Chains A and B, each alone.
Chain A
Amino acid sequence: MTNPNPFPRRMSSFASANNGSRPLRSAGFSHLLNPPPDSGSHGSGASSHAGAPFSSLDAGAAHLGNAPHGLDEGRRSHRTSGANLPSFSRAFDMFTSKEPLLAGPNMTYSGVGSSASVSKTGFLSPSYLRGSGYLEKLAEQHKAKLMADRETTMSKGSSGTVFAGNTGNTESRSVTLHTKLPSGIHRGVALNLIERPPASAELEDVVSPLPTRWNSDDKDHTVEVFGDGYEVKYTGSKGSEHEAGAIRADNPMPMQCGVYYFEVMLLSKKREENIIAIGFETRKAQLSRFPGWEGESWAYHGNDGKIFASGSNSGRLYGPTYGAGDTVGCLMNFRTNQVLFTKNGEELEIAFKDPSFKDPTKSFYPAVGLKRPGDHIWINFGQVPFQYDIDGYMKKQQKMVTDKIRSTDTANLAPPLNDTELIQQLVLQFLQHDGYVGTARAFAEEIHMEKQALNMDADVPVEGVNIKDDEDANNRQQIRRAILEGDIDQALIYTNQFYPKVLEENGQVYFRLRCRKFIEMIRREAEMNSSLQEAGVKAKSTSQPRHHTGNDTQRTYSQNPGGEDELMTEGEEEMMDTEEDGSELRTGNPEDETMAMRAAGVSELCQDALEYGQELRDEFKNDPSHEVSKHLNEIFALMAYPNPLEVKEVAHLLDGKGRVAVAEELNSAILTSLGKSSRAALENLYAQTTVLLEDLRKDGGDGAFVTIQNVIDDIPKAQVN
Chain B
Amino acid sequence: MDLHRRVQSQTSSTSTATPSKHAFETRVADVKSPKSDINALILDYLMMEGYPKAAEKFQKEANLKPRQEDPTINARQQIQHAIHVGDIQKAISDLNELDPGILDSDPHLHFSLLRLQLIELIRNARGYDPSAAINFAQEKLAPRAASNEQFLRELEKTMALLIFPADKLQPDLAALLHSDLRRNTAAQVNEVVLQRHTERREAAIRQLVRMRAWAEASCRSKKGNLPDRIELGLNGDDNGNDPMVTT
A interface residues with partner B (beta carbon < 8 Å) = 186-188, 196-199, 402, 404-406, 408-410, 412-414, 419-420, 422-423, 425-433, 436-439, 441-446, 449-450, 453-456, 463-468, 470, 477, 484, 505-508, 510-511, 623-625, 627-628, 656-657, 660-661, 664, 668-669, 672, 675-693, 695-696, 701-703, 706, 708, 711-712, 714-721
In the complex where A438-B61, A624-B2 touch, is A412 in contact with B213 (Cβ < 8 A)? yes
Q: Is the CB of A442 within 8 A of B66?
A: no
Q: Are A405 and B214 interface neighbours, CB within 8 A?
A: yes
CB nearest neighbor in B for A628: B3
Interface size class of B (residues with CB under 8 A): 35 or more
Q: Which residues in A have their C-beta under 8 angstroms from that of B233?
A: 677, 679-681, 684
User: From residue A634, how far is it (CB to closest CB) to chain B in Å?
Assistant: 15
With A197-B7, A692-B219 known as contacts, the answer to whether A714 contacts B207 (CB < 8 A) is: yes
Q: Which A residues are CB-close (under 8 A) to B232?
A: 413-414, 426, 681, 684-685, 688
The answer to whether B65 and A689 have CB atoms under 8 Å apart is no
A714 touching B45, Cβ below 8 Å? no
What is the minimal beta-carbon distance from B123 to any residue of chain A, in angstroms?
8
**Chain B neighbourhood of A455, CB < 8 A:** 179
Q: Is A507's CB under 8 angstroms from B2's CB?
A: yes
Shortest CB distance B43–A (Å): 6
Secondary structure at chain A's binding surface: helix, strand, loop or mixed? helix
Are A686 and B33 in contact, CB atoms less than 8 angstroms apart? yes
B224 within 8 A of A: yes
Query: Across the interface, do A413 and B209 meet the contact criterion of CB distance under 8 Å?
Result: yes
B154 in contact (CB, < 8 A): no
CA distance A302 to B132 in the complex (A): 77
Interface: B126 (CB within 8 A): no
**How far is the CB of B84 from the nearest CB of chain A, in Å?**
4
User: How distant is B119 from chain A, measured CB to nearest CB, in Å?
Assistant: 11
Number of A-B contacts (CB under 8 A): 292
Q: Is the CB of A687 within 8 A of B1?
A: no
Choice from A679, A696, A711 contacting B208 with Cβ under 8 Å: A711
Q: A675-B16, A684-B233, A688-B28 are in contact. Are A408 and B217 (CB under 8 A)?
A: yes
Residues of B190-217 at the interface with A, using a CB-CB cut-off of 8 Å, are 198, 200, 203-217
16 additional contacts, CB 8 Å, given A408-B217, A625-B4, A627-B3?
A187-B32, A197-B10, A410-B213, A412-B216, A413-B209, A427-B205, A456-B86, A507-B3, A672-B10, A675-B237, A678-B14, A685-B212, A687-B29, A691-B31, A714-B207, A719-B67
- Distance in angstroms from B88 CB to nearest chain A CB is 13
B134 at the interface (CB under 8 A from A): no
B27 x A511 contact (CB < 8 A): no
Establish whether residues B54 and A446, one from each chain, have CB atoms under 8 Å apart when the complex forms.
yes
Q: Is B163 an interface residue (CB 8 A)?
A: no
| A–B pairs, 23, beta carbons within 8 Å | A187-B31, A197-B10, A405-B211, A423-B206, A426-B232, A427-B46, A427-B205, A430-B38, A438-B57, A443-B46, A443-B51, A623-B1, A661-B35, A677-B237, A684-B33, A684-B231, A687-B28, A691-B28, A711-B204, A711-B211, A714-B204, A715-B40, A720-B65
Chain B contact residues, CB within 8 Å of chain A: 1-4, 6-8, 10-11, 14-16, 24, 27-46, 51, 53-54, 56-58, 60-68, 77, 81, 84-86, 179, 182-183, 187, 198, 200, 203-219, 222, 224, 230-235, 237-239, 241-247
Measured in the bound complex, the distance between the Cα atoms of B45 and A715 in whole Å is 10
Q: Give the residues in chain B near A693, CB-CB below 8 Å.
A: 211, 215
Distance A720 CA – B43 CA, assembled complex (angstroms) = 12
Chain A residues with CB under 8 Å of B30's CB are 186-187, 197, 199
- Report the minimal beta-carbon distance from A289 to chain B, rounded to whole angstroms: 36
CB distance from B93 to the nearest CB of A (A): 18
A692–B14 CB distance below 8 A: no
**Residues of the A chain whose Cβ atoms lie less than 8 Å from the Cβ of B68:** 716
Q: Are the CB atoms of B206 and A660 closer together than 8 Å?
A: no
Choose from B11, B62, B209, B244 the contact partner of A423 (Cβ within 8 Å).
B209
A445 touches B3 (CB 8 A): no
- Inter-subunit contact A687/B33 (CB<8 Å): yes
- A508–B11 Cα distance when bound, in Å, is 12
Who on chain A is nearest to B37 by CB?
A712
Chain B: minimal CB distance from A704 (Å)? 12
Smallest beta-carbon distance B27→chain A, Å = 5
List of B residues within 8 angstroms of A420 by Cβ: 183, 187
A408 touching B210 by the CB < 8 A rule?
yes
Task: Provide the bound-state CA to CA distance between A572 and B205, in Å.
Answer: 51
Which of A467, A508, A625 sits near B244, CB closer than 8 Å? A467
C-alpha gap A88/B204 in the complex (Å): 40
Q: Could you tell me the distance in whole angstroms from the C-beta of A593 to the nearest C-beta in chain B?
A: 36
CB distance from B212 to the nearest CB of A (A): 5
Asked whether, in the complex, the Cβ of B213 is within 8 Å of the Cβ of A408, the reply is yes
A-B pairs, top 5 by smallest CB distance, nearest first, are: A453-B84, A692-B215, A443-B54, A197-B11, A686-B33
Asked if B63 and A484 sit within 8 Å, CB to CB, the answer is: yes
Residues of A contacting B14 with CB < 8 Å?
Answer: 672, 677-679
User: In whole Å, how far is A39's beta carbon from the nearest beta carbon of chain B?
Assistant: 52
Residues from chain A with Cβ under 8 Å of B212 in the complex:
410, 413, 685, 688-689, 692
Q: How far is the CA of A656 from the CA of B36 in the complex (A)?
A: 12
Partner of B10, one of A436, A506, A682, A688: A506
What is the chain B residue whose CB lies nearest that of A411?
A: B213
Q: With both chains docked as a complex, state the minimum distance between the C-beta of A205 and any C-beta of chain B, in angstroms.
A: 9
Q: Is the CB of B244 within 8 A of A433?
A: yes
**Chain A residues positioned under 8 Å from B84 (CB to CB):** 450, 453-454
Instruction: Please tell me if the beta carbons of B209 and A511 are within 8 angstroms of each other in the complex.
Output: no
Q: Which residues of B contact A426 (CB under 8 A)?
A: 205, 209, 232, 234
How near does chain A come to B170, taking the closest CB pair, in angstroms? 19
Contact A410 B43 (CB under 8 A): no
Query: B63 touching A708 by the CB < 8 A rule?
Result: no
Point out the residue from B36, B43, B235, B245 that lies within 8 Å of A467, measured CB to CB.
B245
- Assess the B53–A712 pair: CB atoms within 8 A: no
Cα of A711 to Cα of B45 in the assembled complex, Å: 13
Residues of A within 8 A of B215 (CB): 688-689, 692-693, 696, 703
B68's closest neighbor in chain A, by CB? Answer: A716
Q: B residues within 8 A CB of A508?
A: 3, 6-7, 10
Residues of B within 8 A of A702 (CB): 218
Q: Report the Cα distance A683→B1, complex, angstroms.
A: 30
- Given A508-B10, A718-B65, A719-B65, A442 and B209 contact (CB-CB distance below 8 Å): no
Shortest Cβ gap from A109 to chain B (Å): 30
- Interface centre among A422, A454, A463, A720, by most chain B C-beta atoms within 10 angstroms, is A454
List of A residues within 8 angstroms of B231 by Cβ: 684
CA distance A657 to B62 in the complex (A): 11
Q: Which residues of B contact A453 (CB under 8 A)?
A: 81, 84-85
The CA-CA distance from A599 to B245 in the complex, in Å, is 52
What's the minimum C-beta distance from A642 to chain B, rounded to whole angstroms?
28
Closest A residue to B213 using CB positions? A410
If A450-B84, A625-B2, A714-B207 touch, whether A688 touches B230 (CB-CB below 8 Å) is: yes
